[in-house]
Amino acid sequence: MPSWKKVITSGSDAGLNSLVVSDTFEVNGVEYRTYSNDTINTGTTVVATFPTTDGYAAHFDYLVRTNTDYRAGKIVVIWDGSNIDLTDTSTVDIGDTSGVAFDAGITSGKVELEIVTDTNGWIFKSDCKIL
The CATH number of the domain where 98 resides is what? 2.60.40.1680
What's the confidence (pLDDT) of residue 81? Answer: 85
For residue 21, being part of any structural domain is answered with no
Residue range(s) defining the domain that contains residue 84: 31-130
Separation CA 105–CA 56 (nearest Å): 13
pLDDT tens readout for residues 63-105: 999 999 999 999 999 999 899 999 999 999 999 999 999 999 9
What's the confidence (pLDDT) of residue 33? Answer: 87
For residue 15, being part of any structural domain is answered with no
Looking at per-residue pLDDT, the higher value among 128 and 7 belongs to 128
- Burial label for 100, CB within 10 Å (0-12, 13-18, 19+), is buried
For residue 86, being part of any structural domain is answered with yes
What distances in angstroms separate CA 74 from CA 17, 53, 77, 125, 126, one per listed residue?
A: 28, 22, 10, 12, 9
What's the confidence (pLDDT) of residue 48? Answer: 96
Residue type for 58, please?
A
Nearest to 49 by CA among 115, 117, 99: 115
Q: What is the DSSP letter of 99?
A: T
Side-chain-side CA neighbours of 31 within 13 Å: the count stands at: 15
Tally of domains within the chain: 1
What's the confidence (pLDDT) of residue 18? Answer: 65
For residue 77, being part of any structural domain is answered with yes
DSSP secondary structure, 18-75, as one string: ----SSEEEETTEEEEEEEEEEE-SEEEEEEEEEGGG-SEEEEEEEEE-SS-EEEEEE
pLDDT at 120 over 80: yes
Are the CB atoms for 111 and 31 separated by under 8 Å? no
pLDDT tens readout for residues 7-58: 666 666 666 666 666 667 677 777 888 899 999 999 999 999 999 999 999 9
pTM confidence score: 0.81
